[in-house]
């Protein structure tokens, strides 16, 4: 890859799941890898990789996916669209490297990283089976959605960087479009990930049954056993 990454976990046997993490503006893949370390023990068969943004941001080793200098409601989508092919190529690169397909891929992002994972499945439906978006938003709300991806929105109630109303708006838009989404607003939390929001993410990956399972059951299909979910 042209930009940095940090491998949090690489299983001895061929991976059965792929978890990709994406950091916020000015952060880096090693620091975001600490978040990945919470997921790794619960998914021992998963390749867990923290991916760095392609552009420098602030003091080294800070990175970003798109510049936030002068960003506004009128130009945010354009900036996302310009870098989106690189983002999608990055996800597909790790799917090829791991031998894991979209049905067993989870994209996990915080802040700008959450924007990218949400916009990624909007631009490329079915890119991953799960999205966990910590304190993120869509650049522009989606008008279509698919149950191939289950989206988990987790947001601090007191976030002053990306207001929690954007998470509510995202959930409403996905539901209107026929998507599969959960929304958790964490009380007394700002623009951050704490133990409560982390536990919500872990519980959703392990216990929340994707809507497409029910769709497949109605059509006579059978869920694959490599999806990012553990029924316990």
Q: What is the pLDDT of residue 167?
A: 98
Integer CA distances (angstroms), 151 to 14, 61, 120, in order: 26, 30, 12
State yes or no: is 191 an active-site residue.
yes
- The range of the structural domain enclosing residue 25 comes to 5-218
Give a yes or no: residue 224 inside a domain: no
Give the burial string for 117-142 (b: 16+ CB within 10 Å, else e): bbbbbbbbeebbbbbbbbbbbbbeeb
State yes or no: is 67 an active-site residue.
no
Give a yes or no: residue 232 inside a domain: no
Give a yes or no: residue 223 inside a domain: no
Give a yes or no: residue 127 inside a domain: yes
Q: What is the per-residue pLDDT across 19-38, written as a single tens digit (0 to 9) for each? A: 999 999 999 999 999 999 99
Three-state DSSP at 173 gives helix
Give a yes or no: residue 151 inside a domain: yes
Q: What is the pLDDT of residue 231?
A: 29
pLDDT at 219 over 70: no
Residue with tokens 């909007």: 122
Q: What is the per-residue pLDDT across 66-121, written as a single tens digit (0 to 9) for each? A: 999 999 999 999 999 999 999 999 999 999 999 999 999 999 999 999 999 999 99
Domain with residue 101: its CATH number is 3.40.50.1820
Give a yes or no: residue 227 inside a domain: no
Q: Which of 50, 98, 111, 197 is catalytic?
A: 111
How many domains are contained in the chain? 1
Give a yes or no: residue 31 inside a domain: yes
Give a yes or no: residue 231 inside a domain: no
pTM of the model: 0.93
Q: Which of 163, 184, 191, 215 is catalytic?
A: 191
- Weakest-pLDDT range from 3-12, 62-71, 206-215, 218-227: 218-227
């Amino acid at each position: 890859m042209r930009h940095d990454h940090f491998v949090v976990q690489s299983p001895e046997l061929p991976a059965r799941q792929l978890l990709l993490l994406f950091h916020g503006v000015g952060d880096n893949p090693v620091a975001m890898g600490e978040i990945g370390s919470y997921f790794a023990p619960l998914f021992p068969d998963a390749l867990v990789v923290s991916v760095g943004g392609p552009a420098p941001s602030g003091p080294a080793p800070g990175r970003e996916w798109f510049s936030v200098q002068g960003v506004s409601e009128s130009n945010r989508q354009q900036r996302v669209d310009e870098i989106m092919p690189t983002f999608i190529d990055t996800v597909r690169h790790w799917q090829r490297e791991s031998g894991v397909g979209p049905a067993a891929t989870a994209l996990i992002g915080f802040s700008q990283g959450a924007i990218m994972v949400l916009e990624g499945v909007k631009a490329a439906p079915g890119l991953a089976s799960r999205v966990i978006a910590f304190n993120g938003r869509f650049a522009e709300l989606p008008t279509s959605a698919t149950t191939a991806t289950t989206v988990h929105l987790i947001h601090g109630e007191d976030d002053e960087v990306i207001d929690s109303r954007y998470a509510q708006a995202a959930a409403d838009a996905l539901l209107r479009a026929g998507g599969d989404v959960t929304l958790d607003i964490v009380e007394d939390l700002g623009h951050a990930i704490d133990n409560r929001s982390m536990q919500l993410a872990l519980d959703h990956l392990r216990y929340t049954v994707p809507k497409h399972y029910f769709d497949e059951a109605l059509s006579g299909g059978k869920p694959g056993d490599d999806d990012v979910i553990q029924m316990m």
